[in-house]
Amino acid sequence: MNNFDLAIAYVWEYDDVFISLTEEAFHNSGLTTYLISDYNILEVKEKILNKKLSFNFYLDRAWDVDDNFGELGKILAKKKTRIFNPYQNVIHAIDKASMHLEFITAGINVPYSIIIPPHSESENILISVEDLSLLGRPFIIKPCNTTGGGIGVVTGAETLKDIFQERITYTEDKYLLQEKIYPKLLEGKRAWFRCFWAFGTTIPTWWDDQTHLYTEMLPDEIIKFRLKKLIQITQIIAKNVNLDFFSTEIVLTKNNIFVAIDYVNDQCDMRLSSIHMDGVPDNVIRQIIQRMIRAVRKEKRKLVK
């Protein structure tokens, strides 16, 4: 049987560079990799079932696009392959309604929000004038389970009509109505952050919600602007969702309150800023890959024992 340390499944063409960097770093560390995409997914599944192929770890960046990858992941899990971001944990973590309530319970500040049921369950909803006034204007409308790249999110809603129109876009999904949070300025930078949880480590970055551009956060900036809370909040989230790799958005308001905005994104966009203007800083991506290597080595040592 051929065994590999890490299998990586992907179908998005813009993942190519990230995957290439990951393979290079793993190989330089003496670890083996195996790529899975739509061209060989069925062949790989057959080899796994026939015990001709095995993996110690599986990073699946395609299961939300093609069910074949999730099916392979379930087969691998039964064979004791370690899945990075177990599926059942992801399904729980990407539900914004569930996370909203769990964040509150965990002591994390979140925007004032109203959770409304799916249109398929209830065509009519009752929202009082008082509720709308607490949301403020404009407010945000988010589907609770439709995730990635701001899909379905309305950032400038004003009226009940906007709510009624939007909730029929994804009729099976709950919706979150959320007050709009405004960041303070830190020496001209909007205090809006995207924090990556990468295999046991928090990597905070600046992320401008208006331009969608990243800036790498330097260690002395964490001290200078008193941003250690970003690391603490991300650690609390990681403990609650039990995922290996995800990102979250956190804002520091004008009142110096840290507020979690976009709760958990499990399929992080790994395009590099050196290639794409709105990509993740190259050094951050390299840090994430190194954290993954460290996690594989650590877990591999346990497997040997």
Number of Cβ within 10 Å of residue 255's Cβ equals 7
Residues 32 and 79 in one domain: yes
In this prediction, residue 81 carries a pLDDT of: 94
290 within a domain of the structure (yes/no): no
279 within a domain of the structure (yes/no): no
Token pair belonging to 269: 């966009």
With b for 16 or more beta-carbon neighbours within 10 A and e for fewer, the 183-220 pattern comes to: bbeeeeebbbbbbbbbbebbbbbbbebeeeebebbeee
Q: In whole angstroms, how far apart are CA 9 and each of 57, 112, 147, 233, 250?
A: 11, 38, 19, 30, 29
Residues 174 and 222 in one domain: no
Residues with Cβ within 8 Å of 185's Cβ and at least 6 positions away in sequence, in order, are 191
Token pair belonging to 107: 């002591």
State whether residue 293 is helix, strand or coil.
helix
Range of the domain at 155: 112-179
Q: How long a stretch of residues is the chain?
A: 305
Residues 261 and 205 in one domain: yes
In this prediction, residue 83 carries a pLDDT of: 95
278 within a domain of the structure (yes/no): no
The closest of 263, 93, 94, 266 to 178, measured between CA atoms, is 263
Residues 135 and 170 in one domain: yes
Question: In terms of DSSP H, where are the helices of 83-196?
Answer: 87-93, 96-105, 129-135, 160-166
In this prediction, residue 146 carries a pLDDT of: 66
187 within a domain of the structure (yes/no): yes
| CATH code at position 229 | 3.30.470.20
Domain boundary among 47, 69, 84: 84
Domain count, the chain: 3
Number of Cβ within 10 Å of residue 157's Cβ equals 21
| CATH code at position 136 | 3.30.1490.20
In this prediction, residue 152 carries a pLDDT of: 60
Residues 11 and 58 in one domain: yes
Residues 171 and 207 in one domain: no
Residues 216 and 159 in one domain: no
89 within a domain of the structure (yes/no): no
305 within a domain of the structure (yes/no): no
In this prediction, residue 129 carries a pLDDT of: 74
90 within a domain of the structure (yes/no): no
277 within a domain of the structure (yes/no): no
Residues 172 and 196 in one domain: no
Residues 132 and 154 in one domain: yes
> What's the rounded Cα separation, in Å, for the pair 305 and 302?
5
Residues 161 and 238 in one domain: no
Residues 159 and 228 in one domain: no
In this prediction, residue 228 carries a pLDDT of: 97
Which segments of the chain have a pLDDT < 70? Answer: 146-152, 303-305
Residues 222 and 261 in one domain: yes
